[in-house]
Structure 1
Amino acid sequence: MDTELARTFLTVIATGSFINAADRLHVTQSTVSARIHSLEEQLGCTLFIRNKAGTTLTLAGAQFHKHASTLVRTVEQARQDVGIPSGFTGAITIGGRFGLWDQFLLDWIPLIQEQAPRISIRAEIGFEPDLMQGLIEGRMDIGVMYSPQNRPGLTVEPLLEDRLILVSTTPDDPPEPGSRYVYIDWGPEFYVQHSASFPDFTGAALSANIGWLGLNQILRHGGSGYFPERLVRSIIDDGHMTHIEGAPEFNLPAFIVYPSKSEKNYLALAVEAVRTVTAEK
């Protein structure tokens, strides 16, 4: 069976519809439909029920789900095993969300290298949909993110809680978004909390989907924005920004996601290393 068909099947499940799957895979909707149709012909059953709300798995589709995950994961595992650099006995792929690598995951990699020096590490950065897709397909072994999805075969474990505070290059800024406020998209949880705290906020002149982009924009040209305190504490201490007292603060939990079962015996070591770094931070 072509693993591309199984991969498309998993993407439809992850995104909830053929249209969203096509966007994620960067193909047309007709291509997704053709792949699913080909898969259904090979299996001799219907996998999805399509309706206005999206797609729903049939009983056969639900049963095939675990086999598709195993198939894709096995192929990806084989690719990683074959591609292990000379001198190493294994490989692991770690993915983190924008904003979680800084001052956290960068300290994680040296710890893994110290404890397992013969394990090759591939580090990736991305947003939740891409990280979850990599975990579902088996291309990624560990993901650290703010808003994970619960998926069969994956363990989602609370890791840390970021405290987002309003900072500004102007000390007397009001405790609310102003004319030079930069809105940082920290994910759906932040959006809900932000909207509840600032119901009259209609949008910022400048928005950014990456924290470091918004932070550097503010530092260079002035302004304000919400950032994890751990990222801006040293900047505040140096006097380049001010923590705006009285402004609402938001808690943003981060999670570690990894396969519930894995043949990589060093995966547990890597996960424990994440917990150790988190405890130290």
Structure 2
Amino acid sequence: MDTELAKTFLVVAETGSFVKAADRLNISQTTVTARIRSLETQLGQALFERGRHGATLTPQGDRFMPSAMSILQVWERARHDVNVSTEHQHVLSVGGELSLWNPLLLNWLVWMRQHCPEIALRTEVGEANTLIGKVERGVLDIAVVYSPMYHPGLAVEMLEEERLVMVTTDPSGATAENEHYVYVDWGPEFSAQHDKTFPSLKRSGIFVGMGPLGLSYILSAGGAGYFRERAIRGLLEDERLYRVPNAPAFPYPSYMVTTQNDETGAIGRGMEGLRTVVRDGMSPWVMPV
């Protein structure tokens, strides 16, 4: 199917209007209408309800949405794969949650370049559910996440049992008050344990959804919060951060997810690299602040 049809469908669905979609795509409204009509003819179903207030998805259109997104994602991967230089024998596509790029996946990229120069690497950042969905659809070869979904056909392997520890910028190591505490969203399991242990801190004035953002904030403005032990090790050694005495550490394991267990191909080499950088230890790396 023409990828332009899928792209046009997604833009109409997002904007809720054939006119706005035409403006976004820099084409005429007539072309948008023709593309959607062609797509509906090929699928044998109406995808939009047209009305005075715009276009809304039909139940069939709503069910087609994931397929349309997958079509464009697979096409983008195909474009990347065929344009890789002849020096590379394989292309490996890997995605990870933002916090895992610091330092796990950064160290993995270095390892791959040193030990597998024949493999071209394609990487991206995303949320766990999105990344795992891309593995299922063949857009990604490996996803590295904190909360895997155990779907049929997926191979899930724990990489490391990392810990979340409470640190502060206060040299005394005192627990921060609510207004100085940064509540980082490390997922529902962490929240349940954290809120039971620190019921007053769950009402913190600052709540962030990304560990690196919270870490950068307290290094700039002062405060405390829970962060990945490996990511802040260098900051503890440099005395830019201090452990809060008697604050419990919470487990935070990471996993790699794939659809294949072939240890001999490019995916197997990528998995080997992930295991190796975890086993041998990783160079600390922190986002600049």
- Find the counterpart in structure 1 of residue 14 from structure 2: 27
Q: Which amino acid aligns with 2:103?
A: Q
Q: Secondary structure at the match of 1:199?
A: coil
Aligned to 2:126: 126
Separation in structure 2 between the aligned mates of residue 168 and residue 250 of structure 1, nearest angstrom: 16
Counterpart for residue 274 of structure 1: 274
Secondary structure of the residue aligned to 2:165 is strand
Asked if the contact 1:164/1:249 (under 8 Å) is kept, the reply is yes
Measure, in 2, the Cα distance between the counterparts of 1:5 and 1:136: 23
- 1:183–1:226: 8 Å Cα contact kept in structure 2? yes
Residue in 2 aligned with 1:153? 153
State the SS of the aligned residue for 1:124: strand
Decide whether the 8 Å contact of 2:262 with 2:268 is kept in 1.
Answer: no
Q: CA deviation at 1:90?
A: 1.8
Q: Is the 8 A contact 2:176 2:223 kept in 1?
A: no
Query: Quick one: distance in 1 between partners of 2:88 and 2:119?
Result: 6
Bigger CA radius of gyration: 2
Alignment of 1:47-126 (within 5 A): 78-126=78-126
**What is the correspondence of 1:1-12 to structure 2 with a 5 Å cutoff?**
none
C-alpha distance in 1 between matches for 2:158 and 2:2: 36
Residues 85, 130 of structure 1: alpha-carbon distance in 2 compared, 3 angstrom cutoff: farther
Unaligned runs of 5+ in 2: 19-37, 46-62, 282-289
CA distance in 2, matches of 1:30, 1:252: 44
Change (3 A) 1:39 1:258: farther
Give the TM-score taking structure 1 as reference length: 0.71
List gaps (5 residues or longer) in structure 1.
Answer: 8-21, 32-37, 46-60, 62-66
Q: Deviations over 1:73-100 (max 9, x none)?
A: 9766644432323422221111111221
**Alpha-carbon deviations, 1:37-87, whole Å to 9, x = none?**
x99997899xxxxxxxxxxxxxxx9xxxxx99x989976664443232342
Match for 2:163: what amino acid?
R
Aligned residues of 1:171 and 1:244 also touching (Cα < 8 A):
no
Deviation at 1:189, TM superposition (A): 2.4
What does 1:224-235 correspond to in 2, within 5 Å?
224-235=224-235
RMSD: 4.1
- Equivalent residue for 1:237? 237
User: How far, CA to CA, are the matches of 2:263 and 2:255 in structure 1?
Assistant: 22
Verify the 8 A CA contact 1:189 1:252 in the aligned structure 2. Answer: no
- The alpha-carbon distance between structure 1 residues 189 and 130, as it changes in their structure 2 partners (threshold 3 A), is same
Classify the secondary structure of the residue corresponding to 1:220: helix
Alignment of 1:166 with 2:134, yes or no, is no
The CA distance in 2 between the partners of 1:187 and 1:235, in whole Å, is 24
> Post-superposition shift, 1:181?
0.3
Is the CA contact 2:87–2:118 (under 8 Å) kept in the aligned structure 1?
yes
- Does the alignment pair 1:253 with 2:253? yes
Displacement of 1:143 after TM fit?
A: 1.0
- Residue in structure 1 matched with residue 212 of structure 2 by the alignment: 212
Give the Cα–Cα distance (whole angstroms) in 1 for the partners of residues 226 and 165 of structure 2: 5
TM-score (ref. length: structure 2): 0.70
Post-superposition Cα deviations, 1:101-136, rounded to whole Å, max 9, x if no partner, equal 112221111222222212111222222123123212
Q: Percent of counterpart pairs with the same letter?
A: 38
Between the aligned partners of 2:5 and 2:153, the Cα distance in structure 1 is 20
Distance (Å, rounded) in 2 between the aligned partners of 1:152 and 1:5 = 31
Question: In structure 1, the residue corresponding to 2:196 is in which secondary structure?
Answer: helix
Residue equivalent to 2:49: none
Amino acid paired to 2:14: V
